[in-house]
Amino acid sequence: MALKSTIFKAELQITDMDRNYYQDHQLTIARHPSENDERMMVRLLAFALNASETLQFTKGLSEDDEPDIWQKNFSDEIELWIELGQPDEKRIRKACGRSRRVMIYVYQYRSGKAWWEQHQNKLARFDNLAVVAISDAVVTALGEMAQRAMRLQCTVSDGQLWFTSGDQAIEITPEIWKYVKE
């Protein structure tokens, strides 16, 4: 018998002064049996950093042909493809060909740094690709915030983030390894 996903509910209030985006989201997050709390919360952080009315979680780990999060337009074209971890070059090439923008959030810093050094030159040619690293301390703190029912606030200003839940607060400074060229 296959294990089922664990369902989490999150009320996420986003105040993103960098993008002038102010919105509340009621999210249902399915945590895959092979996914831990830390990875799920990094997914939630990536959602908050790219939030829009059409951004949505996908089947992710359950589906090889989908990213963790995506945004599609009304013509069903992929506008934003968000991956977590350290995807292989073939998957990144496919994502860059299918989507207007691709974001990779690396969350295991030491192995992620080695992955980046190995792939950096090959990935430089993709003008629609951005790579962002999240420190291990932040990932651990995010994992500690995970609850089946969450009320979270995310504030973004000048590239700095504050993620809060009740009396827990995390200050986050993502490390940008590759920018999307405009």
- The full length of the chain comes to 182
Q: Which long-range contacts (CB under 8 A, 24 or more apart) does 115-122 make?
A: 115/86, 116/177, 119/89, 119/92, 120/177, 120/178, 122/89
Asked, for residue 153, whether it belongs to a domain, the answer is yes
Q: Which residues of the chain have pLDDT under 70?
A: 1-2, 60-63, 181-182
Distance CA 153, CA 13 (A): 5
Output the pLDDT for position 65: 78
Asked, for residue 51, whether it belongs to a domain, the answer is yes
For the entire predicted model, the pTM comes to 0.93
Output the pLDDT for position 125: 94
CATH code, 158 = 3.10.640.10
Asked, for residue 52, whether it belongs to a domain, the answer is yes
Asked, for residue 99, whether it belongs to a domain, the answer is yes
Output the pLDDT for position 182: 58
Range of the domain at 26: 6-178
CA count, 13 A, side-chain hemisphere, 108 = 10
Q: Which letter does DSSP use for residue 152 in this model?
A: E
Output the pLDDT for position 43: 96
Among 21, 19, 20, 39, which Cα is nearest to 29's? 39
Asked, for residue 1, whether it belongs to a domain, the answer is no
Q: Which residue shows structure tokens 């983030």?
A: 161
Asked, for residue 171, whether it belongs to a domain, the answer is yes
Distance CA 172, CA 169 (A): 10
29-75 confidence digits (pLDDT tens): 999 888 999 999 999 999 999 999 999 999 765 567 799 999 999 99
Output the pLDDT for position 168: 94
Asked, for residue 62, whether it belongs to a domain, the answer is yes
Q: How many CB atoms neighbour CB 176 within 10 A? A: 11
- Total domains in the fold of the chain: 1
Asked, for residue 98, whether it belongs to a domain, the answer is yes
